[in-house]
Amino acid sequence: MTGQSGSGLVLHTQVRAQSMPSLVSELVSRAKRRLPTRLYLANVHMLMEAADDADFAAVLARSEFVLADGKPLCWWQRLVNGISCPQLRGIDLVLALCRRAAAEGLRVGIYGGHAQDDLQRAVQQLQQLVPGLLVCYQHAPAWQPQPARCDPLQLQQMQLAELDIILVALGCPKQEVWIDQYSAKLPALQLGIGAVIDFLSGRRQQAPRWVQRLALEWFFRWLQEPRRLAPRYLKHNPRFLISLCRAWWQQRSR
């Protein structure tokens, strides 16, 4: 059974399994046609938030793409659903998509980040990594509680910029709710990109590749932000692993 592609339920959320080249080609095609598209990069935190909040689960269900950013989701797909599911890390997808966007002349906007200075550094780094990338809009909004609202002036500026791709970095679940709310008003490919702006700006360090291969990226991030992340990991990770073991056992017993 293992080796099939497609999508499968992880907890209660449909997660798509797709290779990076195939995904990027599909996303660029949709962006060029200005098809409103909502893409979320899921990890344990996101899916457990959805399991605990029916409204947020509905936000994920309405999206066109939910993809596995977290390695445990790939484990679930393989062990429970029999699907070979590549891990699609946010930073890797953003760089691959931006390279194609630059080649196609697509207009990119970025909404999010902790502060305008951080966002500016991230944009500069992104344009160094991807020469020719057209970043036609950038804004780091002031912090807001969930749900985040877009200032009418910023919404108008994004509409006037005629963006093909919008990268939204407000953190989960705020960015997914924001995208769901404004997708109809911004006919573009919209991606929730989490900490990618922090990685590009140098605010946070990426885990080394060997750490990623061992599925310990979460631990590397916890070492950088123990107070913020410890409550999340203690709340979500054990419950996810218990659910994975239960689903695997049920699948094995059939």
Mean pLDDT of 220-231: 81
CA–CA gap between residue 158 and residue 246 (Å, rounded): 45
Distances in whole angstroms, Cα of residue 249 to Cα of each of 17, 245, 252? 22, 6, 5
Q: What distance lies between CA 70 and its chain's CA centroid?
A: 10
CA–CA gap between residue 86 and residue 67 (Å, rounded): 9
Size (the chain), residues: 254
CB count within 10 Å of CB 117 equals 11
List pLDDT tens digits, range 117-172. 999 999 999 999 999 999 999 999 988 887 778 999 999 999 999 999 999 999 99
CA–CA gap between residue 147 and residue 11 (Å, rounded): 24
Q: Are 159 and 36 in contact (CB under 8 A)?
A: no
Q: Are 41 and 67 in contact (CB under 8 A)?
A: yes
**pLDDT beyond 90 at 233:** no
List pLDDT tens digits, range 11-47. 999 999 999 999 999 999 999 999 999 999 999 999 9
Which H or E element spans position 40?
Answer: strand 37-42
CB count within 10 Å of CB 113 equals 26
Structural tokens at position 80 = 């429970």
Which 3 state secondary structure label does DSSP give 7? strand
- pTM here is 0.92
Which H or E element spans position 37?
Answer: strand 37-42
